[in-house]
Structure 1
Amino acid sequence: MGRSRRTIPEELLLLALDPTTGTTAQPQSLDLGLAGAQLVELALAGRIAPDGDRIAVVMPRPTGDPTLDSALELLRRRGSPVRAVHWIGGPRLGLRQTYLTHLERCGMVHAVEGQMCGVLPTTRYQATETAISREIRARLDNAIRTGVPPDPRTAALAALAHAVGLGKHLYPGNEGRSSRSRLRDLIRHDPMGGLVAHAVMDVQNGVAAQPRRAQAAGAGPVRQPAGRATAQPAAGVPVQSRHGHGSMARVGAR
């Protein structure tokens, strides 16, 4: 892989990847989450900073990560701070596939070609370094289990996982209810992650008209992830088709 640190978008996608089906949970909201995760990663790199509910570029120097630098350049071209909800809600066609291809290029996933009904070409993705996925999951589990405030990266990852609706994928059933609740509560431990996670949920709820100032850590209610009526369940989520922008075709477990 050649790198010791994964970016938050990479980690979010690895969390969403089902090891059995090779598909991603919550595909509709995941693109929003990945766009938000880019903002958090750029903030941690010192390239952008929150200004109320807006995002301002404070250092336009490239990070060296092509996917992040593309987002940074788009933000720079805006010329003035942009509301997080407007940025995340903008066109993001193919962002999930961009990161899947990126993870494959880095050696973290392996593409498995197949067909649906013997006709439509499809692609599944299997993690090639399962220890990485286990380590990412262990960080979340540890934060949930111990109640100790996590580091900013883990807190932001937890906030985004909750925002896109991965809670039921990671902690399913009635037995996972308390863990899902604690995952939601981790949103308060990172202001930037909280701002972005709320923006992701606002987009899903269609709330983009009224500006909202960034809340202090722990202040105000935490919204539930939206789109439950339309979001696909974690199990048996369709796989990525090679013919289309994010369209998926169902395939069975390997």
Structure 2
Amino acid sequence: MNQRPDEPLVGGEAQRLGAPTLAEDLLLLLFQPGTGTIAGENTLFYTLAGAVLADLALGHHVRTDTGWGGTTRVEAIENRPPSDDILRSTWDYVSQKPRGVQTVLAAIGPTLRSPLLNRLIKRGDIRRGTRKALGLFNTTVLEDGGSGRRGHLLEDVRDVLVEGTEPRPRVAALAALLSGSGTLPQFHHEIPWTSPVITRAKELEQGNWGAGATAEAVARTVTATIVNNVIIAATVLPRN
């Protein structure tokens, strides 16, 4: 029996997808179940690309260095390719030669939304539904898949930003990217947009993740560099 492309996977089929990437988690958080929209769509490809690079940094697959004129470049760590297909594609791209962070963001970002969304649908985190438009036409909409995973991710980020919990590196990167995307104010019902939250979010963007993240110093520094380049790209560079 053939499976529909948007039908959730089960059992061993779901396991073959592997653990969710940081970019999947970020896209799931940015999904707004109440409206079926993705927060920050205008600059989404910069944000998702930043999450891919941050994931590679956390896995010690890439590092950054300083190029001509003080620009920050990304280079692949030799013989450390990731197993995930999406991460591997980016690793292959930067393994050809070190490239500027902004160059990588612009090169890989535009192609990420669709495959990442399809993964979330196959995992059952999001589903495609239909609604009547103008009472006449059926339109495809995104709906909550009922897996509960978005709620858990949001709780982890809230604990760090509101309660001051020391984050695991992955949660710290996720919160930093969410802040860097400029979408945090849209989460005010779950994460109050207060001065302490803003201050904590900025600390995470800068790589100040807490004493427990000392062992992740390199990945923390690389991730902070990537997040700050995402912010620059999202606020300064032309948007299509």
- Counterparts of 2:182 and 2:109 in 1: how far apart (Å)? 18
Give 5+ residue unaligned stretches, structure 2: 1-13, 67-71, 210-219
Cα shift at 1:26 = 0.7
Contact 1:54 1:81 in 2 (8 A): yes
The TM-score with structure 2 as length reference comes to 0.75
Contact 2:158 2:191 in 1 (8 A): no
Q: How does 1:148-227 map to 2 (within 5 A)?
A: 148-171=165-188, 176-178=193-195, 179-187=197-205, 188=207, 189=209, 190-206=220-236
Cα shift at 1:57 = 0.4
- 113-122 or 99-108, which deviates more: 113-122
Q: Deviations over 1:163-187 (max 9, x none)?
A: 1112111126995233344323322
Contact 2:127 2:143 in 1 (8 A): yes
- Counterparts of 1:152 and 1:117 in 2: how far apart (Å)? 46
The letter of the residue matching 1:20 is: G
Report 1 or 2 for greater relative contact order, CA contacts < 8 Å, sequence distance ≥ 6: 1
Considering only aligned residues, what root-mean-square deviation do their CA atoms show, in Å? Answer: 2.9
- 1:59 counterpart = 2:78: yes
- In the alignment of these two chains, the number of paired residues is 208
The letter of the residue matching 2:88 is: D
Contact 1:115 1:122 in 2 (8 A): yes
- Counterparts of 1:40 and 1:21 in 2: how far apart (Å)? 28
The letter of the residue matching 2:225 is: L
Identity %: 25
Counterpart of 1:111 in 2: which secondary structure? Answer: strand
Counterpart of 1:192 in 2: which secondary structure? Answer: helix
Q: Deviations over 1:5-26 (max 9, x none)?
A: 4221011111100011121011
- Counterparts of 1:6 and 1:33 in 2: how far apart (Å)? 16
- Counterparts of 2:156 and 2:191 in 1: how far apart (Å)? 22
Counterpart of 1:176 in 2: which secondary structure? Answer: coil
- Counterparts of 1:109 and 1:174 in 2: how far apart (Å)? 22
The letter of the residue matching 1:68 is: L
Counterpart of 1:110 in 2: which secondary structure? Answer: strand
* Stretches of 4+ aligned residues off by more than 6 angstroms: 118-121
Contact 1:60 1:73 in 2 (8 A): no
- 1:21 counterpart = 2:35: yes
The TM-score with structure 1 as length reference comes to 0.71
